[in-house]
């Protein structure tokens, strides 16, 4: 199913790779103009080039979601190009593979700052911009690890779980606060997705499948495009009476 986003301008953080890039390509293909925001300029440029090759309209902006000044500059650059920003996807995220004994304060702070503080800062900086448009919407990126601890090797990444559990409740709170200004706020919660977020081998190897296959109801690893499709729906008018949800895109992982 395709959704009509021809009158939309979407700002996507972390759009230089993975789910962010797939989302940018999906929405651009459905008519949206895209502000590709990423801390990696090469990744952002590559996404813009892919959109342009497919006939879409996009621009790249540098954005560090840990810094309010960087967010504001990226927003204003997008506004100068497109005149408005109607939709926001808080996709930027990070994880470090450290168990509790090894976890440093620096790693804790980095993961929480990007994964949880970042969506709050971006949402706060964009509230007035979104509220000035028609039918504005926000989608945050959560994960099934905001619901359960997933540990196939004994290392749980407590900082990542804490950050993504926070995204679920942040989404609910933002839905209420931003809803007073007419802005819908939802989240998607992906299961195991084949991206380079950790490593492709981490979810596509035969060894990994011995574990994943016992959990997934749909017998394949997820693709970035699966998550992009859910984001497209939540941003669309077809979801106009949906806000505050944490939509599982997990191949049935949490049904077992």
Burial class (CB within 10 angstroms; exposed 0-12, middle 13-18, buried 19+) of 241: exposed
Q: What is the pLDDT of residue 184?
A: 99
Q: What is the pLDDT of residue 121?
A: 98
Q: What is the pLDDT of residue 26?
A: 98
Question: Which residues, 6+ apart, have CB-to-CB distance to 214 below 8 Å?
Answer: none
Domains and CATH numbers, the chain: 9-195+223-247 (3.40.50.720)
Q: What is the pLDDT of residue 21?
A: 98
Q: What is the pLDDT of residue 157?
A: 86
Instruction: Beginning with the edge strand found earlier in the chain, give each strand of the sheet holding 184-190 in spatial order.
Output: 57-62, 33-38, 9-13, 87-90, 137-141, 184-190, 246-249
Q: What is the pLDDT of residue 252?
A: 96
Q: Which residues are the active-site residues? A: 160
Q: What is the pLDDT of residue 149?
A: 86
Residue ranges for the chain with pLDDT beneath 50: none
Q: What is the pLDDT of residue 154?
A: 60
């Amino acid at each position: 199913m395709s959704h009509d986003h021809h009158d939309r301008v979407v700002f996507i953080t972390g759009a230089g790779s993975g789910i962010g890039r797939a989302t940018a390509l999906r929405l651009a293909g459905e008519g949206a103009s895209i502000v590709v925001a990423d801390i990696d300029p090469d990744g952002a440029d590559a996404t813009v080039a892919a959109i342009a090759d497919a006939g879409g309209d996009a621009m790249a902006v540098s954005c560090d979601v840990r810094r309010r000044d960087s967010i504001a500059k990226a927003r204003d650059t997008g506004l100068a190009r497109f005149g408005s920003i109607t939709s926001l996807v808080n996709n930027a995220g990070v994880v470090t593979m450290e168990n509790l004994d090894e976890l440093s304060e620096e790693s804790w702070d980095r993961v929480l700052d990007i994964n949880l503080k970042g969506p709050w800062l971006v949402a706060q900086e964009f509230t007035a911009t979104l509220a000035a448009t028609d039918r504005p919407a926000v989608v945050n990126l959560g994960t099934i690890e905001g619901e359960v601890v997933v540990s196939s090797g004994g290392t749980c990444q407590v900082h990542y779980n804490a950050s993504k559990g926070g995204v679920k409740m942040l989404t609910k709170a933002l839905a209420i606060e931003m809803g007073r200004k007419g802005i819908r706020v939802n989240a998607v919660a992906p299961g195991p997705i084949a991206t380079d977020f950790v490593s492709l081998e981490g979810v596509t190897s035969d060894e990994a499948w011995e574990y994943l296959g016992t959990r997934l109801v749909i017998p394949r690893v997820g693709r970035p495009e699966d998550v992009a499709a859910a984001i497209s729906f939540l941003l669309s008018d077809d979801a106009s009476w949906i806000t505050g949800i944490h939509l599982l895109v997990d191949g049935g992982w949490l049904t077992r």
